[in-house]
Amino acid sequence: MEEPVQPLSASIDQAPGVADSAASGSIATYTAGLAFALLLTAASFIVAQTHLLWAPGIPAGLAVLAIAQMGVHLVFFLHIGTGADNTNNVLALAFGVLVVTLVVSGSLWIMANLNANMLPPSVIMEMQR
């Protein structure tokens, strides 16, 4: 018995979690993502350049806007969702977040220890004489 011939669309690579007949994105989806990304970018510049937020709260405000920007990119451009078909995508994202967290925290720890173990500038100046 012969195997059934698969349609051409079945042989085209699809993103994980996307049905065989579904498109991975549309112009409207990408346009909405672009609009949100531009809005968040403009908001970041406004927060950083004005006195809209209390001065000590600016880093926290920028961090919130940066996390929102990452969310927009993940949802609208990378099409990462929480559906059952996207388990591998979510696990890869979680692993990526873990790696980035380890690199950033390790870098901060190293810089803090280097700063604490450095000689004071006056001692360095005395050594150069």
Which of 73, 89, 77 minimizes the C-alpha distance to 27?
A: 77
Beta strands in 1-129 (DSSP E): none
Q: What is the pLDDT of residues 65-102, one digit of tens each?
A: 999 999 999 889 988 877 777 788 888 888 989 999 99
Per-domain boundaries in the chain: 25-79, 83-129
What's the predicted TM-score (pTM) here?
0.61
In sequence order, which residues have a C-beta less than 8 Å from that of residue 14 and are 6 or more positions away? 20, 24
Q: What is the pLDDT of residues 10-39, one digit of tens each?
A: 555 555 555 555 556 789 999 999 999 999
